[in-house]
Amino acid sequence: MVSDKQFKQAMSQFATGITVVSAEENKEVKGITVNAFMSLSLDPMLIAISLQNKANMIQTLENTDQFGISILKDDQQEESMIFANQKKPEQPVSFDYVNQTPVIPNALVQIVCEKESVVEAGDHTIVIAKVNEINNDTGKPLIYFGGHYQALNEKL
């Protein structure tokens, strides 16, 4: 039998990038840090994100059809911590808008998505979305590994 602790420790050994999922609801921008993000399909272009069922952002995503995903750069740890509720912002967070969708300024990648389907999976909800627009920047991604933020090292 696998314990919760053993499962969490094993999963922490999988390095992931860090994203912020953002959407506007009732003229208020809401966001959440998500590392459970993946490309799902090329034709059609689909992505998937996974959120804990108790996350407030699920309600926001249920109430909107379009949302943004910002893949963070290695110098955007503070943004990740703010949207993970690990740190209070010193000043209000500002957003860029792509196709009327809020995204994190200067992110490595800004993606505008249209919700396709929602699937409940255990204590998480998976949102599948069609990619409508992408803005790429240059830099290196913020990485999460072993329970800590990391920077990507040079190529092997």
Q: What's this model's pTM, rounded to 2 decimal places?
A: 0.94
Q: Are strands 101-103 and 66-71 parallel, antiparallel or unpaired?
A: unpaired
Q: What is the mean pLDDT of the chain?
A: 94
Among the residue ranges 45-59, 62-76, 141-155, the one predicted with the least confidence is 141-155
The domain locations on the chain are 17-145
pLDDT score at 89? 87
Q: Which helix (H) or strand (E) element contains residue 19?
A: strand 19-25
pLDDT score at 90? 86
pLDDT score at 92? 87
Question: Has residue 156 got a pLDDT over 70?
Answer: no
Could you give the CA distance from residue 55 to residue 42 in angstroms, rounded to a whole number?
28
Q: pLDDT of 99-112, one tens digit each?
A: 999 999 999 999 99
User: What is the largest distance, in Å, between two alpha-carbon atoms of the chain?
Assistant: 48
H helices of 66-155, where? 77-83
Q: What is the mean pLDDT of residues 32-44?
A: 96
Q: pLDDT of 127-141, one tens digit each?
A: 999 999 999 999 999
CATH 2.30.110.10 fits 17-145, yes or no: yes
